[in-house]
């Protein structure tokens, strides 16, 4: 029974992945990085996540550019292209008071750039992009994944923990079948309560894990500032930890 369910969900997920992947003909993904949002600096990772090369002529808006339009009373103070995947394509940036235009000749699949925008205040921005028969193919994910061994290991660890907890809950509810009438000792109470506690953990964990699995990965040539920022924060924490450890040892002696 359990093996049949596992194969069913695996087959369904496998088929759905290839169905959605087949639809990604023309697609541009924009991942935002809010690591330095307190300094009013926003990083945007923009790349062709589809299967076909996107040309300037495919853009149907009036300017024939990718446009970032700021809302409300916000203004652009400074903008620049900080990273590109290659020199194969030409890219230019035009800065206006409330708008940034990115002009490019073409973007091949898995090719793109990083744009940094310094604004006067923190407020939402709006991307203007229409490609091919006025079909909006812009993808704005909530989170993006980092490339590399550590990122894959963390994701695998999360999936493994979720799978183990799911197996424990399944066995408790459907194989062993919890019998409240047999509860007598403290150990029995703990054994009965634990599957429910695991279930409480699993329910909010599922949408988070799903978002992490579905999260797109920017091209490896683009430096991810949130990864760099996390590394710097960890270094600072390690330094502070060593300092406090030395102070504690001196105080104890």
Q: What pLDDT score does 9 carry?
A: 55
Q: Dihedral of CA 53/58/61/62: which sign?
A: positive
Read off the pLDDT of each residue in 219-226 and give the average, rounded to a whole number.
Answer: 84
pLDDT digit string (tens) for 113-137?
Answer: 999 999 988 877 888 777 776 667 7
Q: What pLDDT score does 212 carry?
A: 80
For residues 169 and 195, what is the distance between their CA atoms, to the nearest angstrom? Answer: 5
pLDDT digit string (tens) for 52-103?
Answer: 899 988 888 888 889 998 888 889 999 999 899 998 899 999 999 999 999 9
Strands 66-70 and 112-119: unpaired
29, pLDDT greater than 60:
yes
Q: Is the CB of residue 33 less than 8 Å from the CB of residue 42?
A: yes
7, pLDDT greater than 60:
no
For residues 87 and 195, what is the distance between their CA atoms, to the nearest angstrom? Answer: 55
Backbone angles phi, psi at 178, to 5 degrees: -60, 125
For residues 54 and 123, what is the distance between their CA atoms, to the nearest angstrom? Answer: 29
DSSP state of 147: P
What's the Cα-to-Cα distance from 8 to each of 2, 12, 15, 205, 213, rounded to whole Å? 10, 6, 11, 21, 19
Q: Is the CB of residue 144 less than 8 Å from the CB of residue 225?
A: no
Within 10 A of 15 (CB to CB), how many other CB atoms are there? 10
Read off the pLDDT of each residue in 6-24 and give the average, rounded to a whole number.
Answer: 52
pTM of the complete model: 0.69
Residue 167 CB partners (closer than 8 Å, separation 6+): none
pLDDT digit string (tens) for 138-191?
Answer: 888 888 887 777 677 877 888 888 888 888 888 777 777 666 666 667 766 677
For residues 134 and 58, what is the distance between their CA atoms, to the nearest angstrom? Answer: 10
Q: Which letter, b or e, does each residue of 192-207 get, where b requires 16 or more Cβ atoms within 10 Å of its Cβ?
A: eeebeebeeeeeeeee
Q: What angle do CA 56, 58, 59 make, to 5 degrees?
A: 75
């Amino acid at each position: 029974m359990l093996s049949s369910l596992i194969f069913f969900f695996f087959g369904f997920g496998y088929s759905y992945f290839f169905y959605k992947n087949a639809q990604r003909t023309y697609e541009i993904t924009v991942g935002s990085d809010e690591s330095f949002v307190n300094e009013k600096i926003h990083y945007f990772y923009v790349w062709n996540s589809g299967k076909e090369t996107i040309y300037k002529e495919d853009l149907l808006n009036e300017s024939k550019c990718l446009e970032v339009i700021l809302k409300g009373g916000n203004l652009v103070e400074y903008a620049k292209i900080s990273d590109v995947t290659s020199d194969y394509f030409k890219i230019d940036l035009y800065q206006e008071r409330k708008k940034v235009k990115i002009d490019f000749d073409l973007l091949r699949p898995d090719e793109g750039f990083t744009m940094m925008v310094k604004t006067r205040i923190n407020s939402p921005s709006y991307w203007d992009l229409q490609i091919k028969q006025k079909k909006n193919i812009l993808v704005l994910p909530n989170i993006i994944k980092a490339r590399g061994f550590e990122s894959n290991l963390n994701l695998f660890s999360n999936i493994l923990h979720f799978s183990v907890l799911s197996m424990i809950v399944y066995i408790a509810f459907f194989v062993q079948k919890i019998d409240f009438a047999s509860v007598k000792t403290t150990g029995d109470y703990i054994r009965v309560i634990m599957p429910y506690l695991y279930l409480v953990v699993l329910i909010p964990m599922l949408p988070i894990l799903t978002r992490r699995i579905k999260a797109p990965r920017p091209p490896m040539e683009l430096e991810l500032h949130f990864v760099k920022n996390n590394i710097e924060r960890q270094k600072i924490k390690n330094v502070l930890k060593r300092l406090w450890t030395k102070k504690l040892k001196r105080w104890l002696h």
